[in-house]
Chains A and B, each alone.
Chain A
Amino acid sequence: MAYFEVRDLHVYYGAIHALKGISLRVEEGEIVTLIGANGAGKTTTLRAISGLVRPRSGQILFEGEDLLRYKPHEIVTQKRVIHVPEGRRVFARMTVEENLYMGAFTRTDRDKVEEDLERVYQLFPRLKERRRQLAGTLSGGEQQMLAIGRGLMAAPRLLLMDEPSMGLAPILVESIFETIQEINKQGTTILLVEQNAHMALQIAHRGYVLRTGEIVLHDTAENLRANEMVQKTYLGMA
C-alpha cells in the first residue's frame, strides 16, 4: 500500500473537464513534483487533495483511507495533510508570529508547537527578526517563507506546496528550494507543484508531467531531466 495515492481523479469546473483521470502516488519521505504548463491542472490537483474542490470521481488515499470522506478542516485535523497555497497567501493583518500560530491552530500538543516554532525560525531566521511585524508588510520572498513556515507549524505528514517559487527573484528561488530540500531531509513528505521544472526536478525524487488535465509522463527526477520531451517543453533546452 502506498503512503499517499491518487487514483483516477476527475474534476470538473462547471462544464470544463479540468482533471481527466489523474493517478499518482507519493511514498513516505519523498519529494514528488508535479510539473506542467499554466492551466495543466496542477493547482486543481492540490485543491482536490485538500478538499477545497470536490472531484466528480476517483479516490484520494492517505494510508489507505479515502480523504474524500473528510471536510477540508478534517483533512488537516485528522490526517495532517497540509496545503501551502500558491501566491504567498499570508494573513496580511496578523503579525508573522500570529500567522505561524494560525498554522498550529488545530494542534493540542502545546510543547511541540513551541518546538516547531523554534524549528521554523531556524529554517527562516528572517521570520524571527520580523516576528512582530504585520505579514502584509513583508517582502514577497519573506511572505513565501512565512506561508511555508505556517504550513510546517501544522506538523504535516504530507505537505502540499503550490508554486513556492512564483514571482520570486532567482536568488530567492534557489534558497527557497534549498530550504524545501532541508525540510524534506528533516522528515516531511512533500508533493511539490511547480512551473519551474528545472529547480523542481533537481530536488525531487520522482516527478509527474501534467498536460491539460492528464498525466503524460512519470519517472524518476533524474530520468525526467534527461527526457527529450521534458527538456524541450519544460526545461527550455533546444
Chain B
Amino acid sequence: MNTPLRAAFRAGLAGSLIALHLALVGMVEAFNKREIIQDTVTLGQLLLLGVSIGTALYALQLIPQERRATRDGWLTALVSVSVVSLTLMLLSLAIQTINLRFMFQNASKELVRILTFHTPGVVGLVKLWLFILVGGILGVGYLFVPRPWNRVLSIAAGATLIMGVMRSIVTPLLPDLLVDALYTASGLKRIGAVVLFVLWSAILYTYPRWKARAQTLQTLEVRLGPRTIPLPVFLGIVVLFALPAILREEGSYLFEVLDMVGIYIIMGFGLNIVVGYAGLLDLGYVAFFAIGAYTMAVLSTPELPVVREFLTQTIGRSTLNFWEIIPIVIVISLISGVLLGVPVLKTHGDYLAIITLGFGEIIRLLVISDLLKPILGGAQGITGVARPTFFGKFVINESWEYFYLIVITIGIALYISVRLRDSRAGRAMKAIREDEEVAKAMGIDHVAAKLSAFATGAVMAGLAGALFSSRLYSIAPHSFNVLISINVLCLLIVGGMGSLPGVVVGALALVGLPEVLREFAEFRLLVYGAALIIMMLYKPEGLWPERARVSPIAKEVFGDRLQQLKIE
C-alpha cells in the first residue's frame, strides 16, 4: 500500500494525463458549448469535474481502507486533485505564453478562457484550482456523509445532471408547463436543477420503504390467454406501445434515436447468438445487415432499370412492396449466413475473426463496385426504398410509426433468443462455445449447431437492415462499414456477452447515448475505447451479465474469482 502522499501523486498524475488529453483533443471546448444548468455549469466543466472526482476516488483506493475516512483521506484526495489543477494551470500558462497550436490544434485561447472562467491573471488560476478542488471534496466527502445520505445525494445529483444533459429526450415526455418551469433551451434552469435534485433525493430516500410494496406488485400477474405475465412487464409493454402514439411529432427526435437503438438491439440479439451463445467471433456481421438493407432497397426502388425489367418479365410488376420483400430478406440472409458458415466451420478464434472481417469487406466492395452498379446502385447508393403500408392505405412514414415495427421485431428476436437459449440447440451451441472438441465427443453435431447459429444471427441482422433502409428511404454503401460490426460487438461486451437484457443496456449506452450527446459525435471512438478499457478492467462480465447458478459454498471459496462468473 501507498502512503497518502505517494497515492495522491500517483492518482494526480493519472488524472492530469486524462485532463490534459481531454483538453488537448478539444473535448472540453466542444462540450463547453452546452449549458447543463443555466449560468452555472456546462458539460465541459462537468467533464473536468468528473476527472477530478475520479482522481480523488482513485487516490483513495490506493491507500489502506481504514485510513480513508480520516485526515489522511482528505490529504490524499485534495493533494491528488491539486496535482490535476496544477497541470491545467501550467497548460493555461503555456498556451498564453507560447503558441502550441502548431502541434495541438485545440490549445486555443478559448480553452484558457474556459479553464480560468473568463478571468485573466492569477485570480483565474485560483478559480480553476478551487473548481477542481470541489471535485476532490465531493470525492472524499462521500466517505464522511452518513449513510444512506451519501448514496442518495450522489445518485440524485447524477440523475439531475443526466436529466439536464438529456434535455432533448426528457422534455417530450413532460407536460409543457413543467418543461417551461424546469428547462431552458439548452439545459436546466437553476431552480429546475434544485427542484429535481430535491425530488430525486426524496424518491431515493424513501425508495427502500416502498420497495417492499413494489415486491408485492412484482408478484401480481396479468392473464393473457393461457399464459400469465407479471404486472410490471405488462405495464412496460403498454407504455412502450402507448407512448409513441401519444407523443407523435413532439417526440420525433426521441423516436429517431430509439429507432436506431432498436435496430442495434435487433442486431445485438442476432450477434449474441453467434458470439454469445456459440462463441464464434464474427467481425463481418455488418455484411448481413447490408444484405438485408440492399435486398429491401433493390427490390423496391424504381431507380434500377435492370432489376425493374427483370421483375416485370418474371412477375409482371416492376417493384415489390415492403411486406413481399420481408420473406425474401429472411431467405436471402439465411442463405448467406450458411454460405459464410460453411467455409469457416473448421476455423476458430482469431482465424475466424479475420475471415469474417474479410467477408464483411467483400460485401461492401461488391456494393460499391461499378460492375454491379446496374443492380446495386454503386457508390451513390439507392433511394426510393419502399415504406411499409397497411391495406394499401395507411403508410408508415414517421420515426414513431417505425418504432412499432422495430419493437415488434425486437420482440420476435427476443422470443427466438429466449427459446433458443433454453432449447437443445442452444445447449449444443453453448457446449461448442465452451469446448468444441468435447462437444463433438458428446455427440453434438457441430456443423448443424454452428450453421444454425450463423443463419439465425444473419436473419436478425437482415431484418434489421431491411427496416433500416426502409426507414431511411435511401441507402449508400458507406453506411455499411466495419464500424457497424464493431459497434454491435462492443454493445454485447458492454452489456454482457450472452445476456439478453445486456443487449438492451449495451445498445442504450453505446448507441443511444452518443445520439443524445451530439457533442460526442467527433469523439465517439475515443469514448468507446475508453469505455471498453474501463469495462474490461473493472467489470469484464458486462453491465448486465448472463446469469449462472453458483452454490453458496463456491461463493465462499472462490470469492472474487466468481465476480467473473456472476452469481444469481
Per the bound structure, the CA–CA distance linking A2 and B369 in Å amounts to 63
A13, CB-defined interface residue at 8 Å: no
CB distance from A171 to the nearest CB of B (A): 20
Q: Which of A73, A82, A94 has the most CB of B within 10 A?
A: A73
Choice from B443, B550, B554 contacting A76 with Cβ under 8 Å = B443
CB distance from A62 to the nearest CB of B (A): 15
B residues contacting A by CB (< 8 A) are: 424, 427-428, 430-431, 434-435, 437-446, 548-551, 553-554, 557-558, 561-562, 565
Having A72-B443, A105-B444, one finds 9 other A-B pairs with CB under 8 Å, namely: A73-B445, A75-B443, A76-B442, A83-B441, A90-B435, A95-B548, A95-B549, A103-B442, A105-B427
Choice from A73, A94, A106 contacting B434 with Cβ under 8 Å = A94
CB distance from A76 to the nearest CB of B (A): 3
**Are the CB atoms of B549 and A52 closer together than 8 Å?**
no
* A83 and chain B: residue at smallest CB distance: B441
Contacts of A92 in B (CB 8 A): 434
Per the bound structure, the CA–CA distance linking A154 and B431 in Å amounts to 15
Tell whether A132 pairs with B443 under 8 Å between CB atoms, given A92-B434, A94-B430, A105-B424: no
**Are the CB atoms of B551 and A132 closer together than 8 Å?**
yes
**Are the CB atoms of B553 and A130 closer together than 8 Å?**
yes
CB distance from A95 to the nearest CB of B (A): 5
**Are the CB atoms of B565 and A93 closer together than 8 Å?**
yes
Subset of 23 A-B contacts with CB under 8 Å: A50-B441, A52-B441, A73-B444, A73-B445, A73-B446, A77-B443, A85-B441, A90-B435, A91-B431, A91-B435, A94-B430, A95-B548, A95-B550, A102-B439, A102-B442, A105-B428, A132-B549, A132-B551, A133-B551, A133-B553, A137-B565, A150-B442, A154-B443
Per the bound structure, the CA–CA distance linking A218 and B511 in Å amounts to 66
**Are the CB atoms of A130 and B442 closer together than 8 Å?**
no
* A160 and chain B: residue at smallest CB distance: B441
Contacts of A130 in B (CB 8 A): 551, 553-554
Per the bound structure, the CA–CA distance linking A50 and B437 in Å amounts to 11
Tell whether A89 pairs with B435 under 8 Å between CB atoms, given A76-B442, A154-B443: yes
Q: Which of B441, B550, B551 has the most CB of A within 10 A?
A: B441
**Chain B: interface secondary structure?**
helix
Contacts of A84 in B (CB 8 A): 441
Contacts of A137 in B (CB 8 A): 550, 554, 557-558, 561-562, 565
CB distance from B213 to the nearest CB of A (A): 32
**Are the CB atoms of A52 and B438 closer together than 8 Å?**
no
Per the bound structure, the CA–CA distance linking A64 and B265 in Å amounts to 54
A134, CB-defined interface residue at 8 Å: yes
Tell whether A89 pairs with B438 under 8 Å between CB atoms, given A76-B443, A133-B550: yes
**Are the CB atoms of B554 and A134 closer together than 8 Å?**
yes
* A107 and chain B: residue at smallest CB distance: B443
CB distance from A148 to the nearest CB of B (A): 13
Choice from A52, A93, A134 contacting B440 with Cβ under 8 Å = A52
Per the bound structure, the CA–CA distance linking A137 and B561 in Å amounts to 9
* A46 and chain B: residue at smallest CB distance: B441
A136, CB-defined interface residue at 8 Å: yes
Per the bound structure, the CA–CA distance linking A154 and B444 in Å amounts to 12
Residues 90-126 of chain A, each 1 if its beta carbon lies under 8 Å from chain B, else 0: 1111110010011101100000000000000000000
Per the bound structure, the CA–CA distance linking A71 and B446 in Å amounts to 10
Per the bound structure, the CA–CA distance linking A137 and B445 in Å amounts to 27
**Are the CB atoms of B437 and A105 closer together than 8 Å?**
no
Contacts of B438 in A (CB 8 A): 85, 89-91
Choice from B439, B445, B548 contacting A134 with Cβ under 8 Å = B548
Contacts of A154 in B (CB 8 A): 442-443
Contacts of A89 in B (CB 8 A): 435, 437-438
**Are the CB atoms of B437 and A52 closer together than 8 Å?**
yes
Tell whether A134 pairs with B550 under 8 Å between CB atoms, given A91-B434, A105-B424: yes
Per the bound structure, the CA–CA distance linking A137 and B437 in Å amounts to 21
Per the bound structure, the CA–CA distance linking A229 and B364 in Å amounts to 65
Residues 55-96 of chain A, each 1 if its beta carbon lies under 8 Å from chain B, else 0: 000000000000000011101110000111100011111110
**Are the CB atoms of B431 and A102 closer together than 8 Å?**
yes
Contacts of A150 in B (CB 8 A): 442
**Are the CB atoms of B565 and A72 closer together than 8 Å?**
no
Taking CB atoms and an 8 Å cut-off, the chain A residues in 165-190 that contact chain B are: none
**Are the CB atoms of B553 and A106 closer together than 8 Å?**
no
Per the bound structure, the CA–CA distance linking A150 and B553 in Å amounts to 22
**Are the CB atoms of B440 and A73 closer together than 8 Å?**
yes
Per the bound structure, the CA–CA distance linking A133 and B562 in Å amounts to 11
Per the bound structure, the CA–CA distance linking A94 and B439 in Å amounts to 13
* B567 and chain A: residue at smallest CB distance: A134
Contacts of A72 in B (CB 8 A): 440-441, 443, 446
* B434 and chain A: residue at smallest CB distance: A91
Q: For the complex of A and B, list the 7 residue pairs with the smallest distance between their C-beta atoms, beginning with the closest.
A: A76-B443, A106-B443, A91-B434, A83-B441, A72-B440, A73-B445, A133-B554
* B445 and chain A: residue at smallest CB distance: A73
